[in-house]
C-alpha cells in the first residue's frame, strides 16, 4: 500500500495526487476505526445500560459539531494556496478522516446505547461520503503550483 502511495504521490498529475490523498484518508480513517471497534467490543461486553435521552442528544450533537469542525479545518488545509499541491492534499486528507472518525469513536464508546450507536454510525457513514466527494473537489493539480 505504501509503495503505491509513494508512486501516486510522485506521479505529478492531479489523478495521482487524488489517489494518494484518498489512500492517506483511508489510512487515517483506519487508525480511528480500529480502536473504535475494540472499545465498542469492550463496552458491549461490560453490559452497561442505555443513556438518558438528553445525554444521547448532547452526544449526537457533539459528534456532529466536532465532525463539522474537522471538515472545515480539512477544507482550509486542502485549499491553502501557499502550500504545494501535495502538501495541501495530504494535510487535508489526514484531517478529513476526523469527519467520520469522531462519530465512529463515540459509537464505540457508547456501543451499549444501541440507538445512539446506530445514529452515530449513520452519521459516520454520511461523513465518509461527504469526505470522499470533497477530496475530488479539493485536490488541485501540481501543475497549478507556481
- Look-up of cell digits 463515540: 106
Q: Cα-atom radius of gyration of the chain, to the nearest Å?
A: 17
* pLDDT over threshold 70, residue 15: yes
> For residue 1, what pLDDT is reported?
66
Q: How far apart are CA 127 and CA 86, in angstroms?
A: 23
Between 48 and 146, the higher pLDDT residue: 48
Beta-carbon-side half-sphere exposure of residue 42 (alpha carbons within 13 Å): 9
82 close to 68: Cβ distance less than 8 angstroms = no
14 close to 139: Cβ distance less than 8 angstroms = yes
Q: How far apart are CA 79 and CA 44, in angstroms?
A: 40
Q: How many CB atoms within 10 Å of residue 18?
A: 20
18 close to 136: Cβ distance less than 8 angstroms = yes
* Start-to-end Cα distance in the chain: 30
Q: pTM of the predicted model, to two decimals? A: 0.88
Per-residue pLDDT band for 146 (boundaries 50, 70, 90) equals low
Amino acid at each position: 500500500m505504501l509503495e503505491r502511495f509513494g508512486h501516486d504521490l510522485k506521479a505529478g498529475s492531479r489523478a495521482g495526487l487524488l489517489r494518494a490523498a484518498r489512500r492517506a484518508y483511508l489510512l487515517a480513517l483506519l487508525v480511528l476505526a480500529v480502536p473504535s471497534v475494540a472499545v465498542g467490543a469492550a463496552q458491549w461486553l461490560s453490559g452497561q445500560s442505555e443513556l438518558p435521552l438528553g445525554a444521547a442528544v448532547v452526544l449526537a450533537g457533539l459528534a456532529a459539531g466536532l465532525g463539522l469542525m474537522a471538515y472545515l479545518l480539512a477544507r482550509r488545509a486542502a485549499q491553502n494556496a501557499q502550500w504545494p499541491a501535495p502538501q495541501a492534499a495530504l494535510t487535508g486528507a489526514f484531517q478529513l478522516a476526523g469527519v467520520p472518525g469522531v462519530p465512529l469513536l463515540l459509537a464505540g464508546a457508547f456501543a451499549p446505547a444501541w440507538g445512539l450507536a446506530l445514529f452515530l454510525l449513520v452519521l459516520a457513514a454520511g461523513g465518509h461520503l461527504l469526505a470522499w466527494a470533497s477530496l475530488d473537489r479539493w485536490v488541485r493539480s501540481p501543475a497549478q503550483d507556481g
